[in-house]
Structure 1
């Protein structure tokens, strides 16, 4: 299991860096009115960046989905409600501080709407909550029926037949199929990654072929098209699994694995260093040496490094509740206390 966890950490590290890179590239290039050398990387990763993130998120779901209902609700529903509520409050309170002070009622409206229509960088956490809830509801439905339904929803979204304007619904239709594949086919995915690690030359050859095809298809914008978008998403997620399996075998990219093990830390926090760079640093300095790509790379490093450094500083203090759910926010903890009171033990 250690090898499995190892390659999953590498995969999560790759995904979280690609996600932060996307936001850094778009925002820095817009601010500096130029295009840098990191843009092609973002475009190359577009077909599989989010699909792989959701596929990885579903891998270990089978361990808990058929267990006690209260444990599942606590670990997969209450858990994400806690972090989403905490961090959306922090993000809006700090990044929209002017609105908070000038119009508290309007700020409260924005805050409440964020639970119905998440438009900030935390939408992934919100979407995971929905995915976990839906998957529990359909846990006893035959896999092929749910998978077929998810594929149909994704196809209807790509054909613009489903276009509600409500991001929660649209994202669910477009992305749930990847999460469900991660959950339903986890044993096959783990076995595939294990085999990939045993045959590095074969894996590298397959990655080269995939990379060429993926780049060609991106250049022809096939990642926006019906069917090819799904194929590219699955192929890219498979490629990330192969890369991660190879990295876990040779163990020379420890920082990438560390990022994966702390991907939630980076994801929850990166909006703050990004806002700092965009509002206070780059408007004053511009692109270092006139290189927009360098400005983007420095912003990316800051947005990944600062959350990890901050986490290292607070993880043994009371502020660890920013990244570790405390007992008072645990459903099972309160249920145990209630049971103990009923037994007269408290």
Structure 2
């Protein structure tokens, strides 16, 4: 049973990372081209659940390791992500620095780099905020789960938009991470139940997709427009009902569970099935894709837009997304084949503060 659970969790993480790359790729292409393509509709549809599902999945296995000794917990849940954040922040700055220097000079580059330790840089904000979620969850683990969840649900609902990524994302996303941690047993039971009842699962997913579509693409009425924030029209948002308070929370939780249900159903496929194997591999190596997709994405976008070989913006967005997913996989394969560059995706010994052996269990998926 544990193997099945890990299978569907990896599949879910694989789907999540594809949606994240798709959003950055599509919006980047459209911004550069000054026009929208058909992929924008896919990004808009996924917006209510794109990050909630990623955070919910990230919290699923925390219950297995939350009582570790503090030193080991800090090593696995803080230092682990801090290492990759600093490394890939520096790598990204190698490519970003010339543009920043052209606009703000050398001092602007230094200032932007240092500021990135306060305000997470670009696409790396996810691994910047995860250690905060791990630490806060550990600190409140003795507080009744229903009370913490209720407080976090209230934070998600309140119009908190300070302009600071850490504050805004903490208030808007922590509820999903905590839900993954607090309700993991129920989520696993539900996934196993659906896995054995595919027709029920498919019917439920069809109903969810219909509701999601209507709420995303139906504009909020003028009488409620004051409840919409500028963020309601960013990252693929269309200012629909889905952006309104409470509805956004409902869709975030429902969409996250829809990914769980979809993954549980896909895990029924034989392990040799290409879709099963591909999503499982991407899920188990999601940090590889998340860290390294920015460069192949940017290169592909620039080449396709400047070459003019393909005119359709949606197709360019799709190909850019594919490059953003496949590029890191190729880089990872080259690292494994050559034996050089392991530090890009695996912490070296000097960056580990707890030497206790790490068991190869489902808990590794949370790290």
Give the TM-score, by structure 1 length.
Answer: 0.91
Q: What SS does structure 2 have at the residue aligned with 1:181?
A: helix
Residue aligning to 2:10: 9
Residue aligning to 1:96: 97
Distance 1:240 1:198 in 2: 16
Distance 2:353 2:4 in 1: 32
Candidates 236, 259, 263, aligned match of 2:255? 236
Unpaired runs of 5+ in structure 2? Answer: 219-239, 358-367
Distance 2:101 2:132 in 1: 28
Residue aligning to 1:25: 26
Residue aligning to 1:323: 345
Q: What SS does structure 1 have at the residue aligned with 2:267?
A: helix
CA contact 1:203–1:242 (8 Å) conserved in 2: yes
Residue aligning to 1:282: 304
Candidates 124, 128, 131, aligned match of 2:130? 128
Give the TM-score, by structure 2 length.
Answer: 0.86
Distance 2:22 2:144 in 1: 38
CA contact 2:83–2:347 (8 Å) conserved in 1: yes
Residue aligning to 1:105: 107
After TM superposition, the structure 1 = structure 2 runs for residues 213-252 of structure 1, keeping only pairs within 5 Å, are: 213-220=211-218, 221-251=240-270, 252=273
Q: What SS does structure 2 have at the residue aligned with 1:81?
A: helix
Distance 2:285 2:147 in 1: 35
CA contact 1:287–1:294 (8 Å) conserved in 2: no
Q: Which is further off, 63-72 or 51-60?
A: 63-72
CA contact 2:39–2:318 (8 Å) conserved in 1: yes
Residue aligning to 1:308: 329
Alpha-carbon offset, residue 100 of structure 1: 6.0
Q: 1:63 to 1:201 in 2, by over 3 A?
A: same
Alpha-carbon offset, residue 16 of structure 1: 0.6
Residue aligning to 2:37: 36
Unpaired runs of 5+ in structure 1? Answer: 337-346
Q: 1:176 to 1:126 in 2, by over 3 A?
A: same
After TM superposition, the structure 1 = structure 2 runs for residues 290-305 of structure 1, keeping only pairs within 5 Å, are: 290-305=311-326
Q: 1:325 to 1:183 in 2, by over 3 A?
A: same
Residue aligning to 1:272: 295
Equivalenced residues, count: 329
Alpha-carbon offset, residue 282 of structure 1: 2.4
Distance 2:256 2:295 in 1: 28
